[in-house]
Amino acid sequence: MSLEFDGTRLLQQDKDGNFRQVFPATTVDQVLGLDKIRGVPGPRGPAGPAGPAGEAGKDGKDATGTGSTTNEYGIIIRKSGPMACFIDREADPWRIVFDNGSYMTLDDYPAHPGEKANTVYGWGFAGGWSNSLDDYPITGNLLKMAWGMISIETWKKAAPGKLGYWGRATITNPVNSLDNYDWSKATLGISGGPYDAKQISVIKIAYQLGIWSGKDVEGLGAVKK
């Protein structure tokens, strides 16, 4: 008689050749009986050869952030001249806010919340869009300078009265720093009027806003430090 295991049951062959399920007395007897049929596992074979290399990973995507800084108005601060502006009339004094992230207060001509009109800033007054200098507003002249409608040569030929509403200004987030130059000899060459001393304000404001370059102001007498 022989024993066989069909995967789930232990079977014993009788004298007539028939197989019957065997029920050992104990679970231990059953396990020992199964081990006799299955045999003891042999030693582990040697490791097989290494498999082929896996596919290369996909290229990572470039970061989408620009790393740019914005001002308090959410405008990206960039190193180029302005192309547009608006007037913040809630600030005290008012601010002229440019689309390059700079903004300016006119220290000699401050305006305050509640004012109904202010021609120097251009609130309630529109200047012309020709290539000639306007007496005011300052905003219109600055944008025409940025667009190239008013050049440095235009200023050199200007009548002294065109300087009347220019003056000291504070520019936040300037494109260029005034500390780069000695301005004591910078001039547009305008003379003969009561406002001649104001021409330095035109030069400094245009440089700080990025409208005029370092080479431009050097050509007007500014000396690089």
pLDDT tens column, 166-218: 999 999 999 999 999 999 999 999 999 999 999 999 999 999 999 999 999 99
Q: Which of 88, 224, 108, 83 is nearest to 164 (CA)?
A: 108
Question: What is the structure's pLDDT at 6?
Answer: 64
Helices (H), 138-198: 138-146, 152-156
- Domain layout of the chain by residue ranges: 3-35, 85-224
Confidence at 50, pLDDT banded by 50, 70, 90: confident
Chain mean pLDDT for the chain: 86
* SS3 (DSSP) at 138: helix
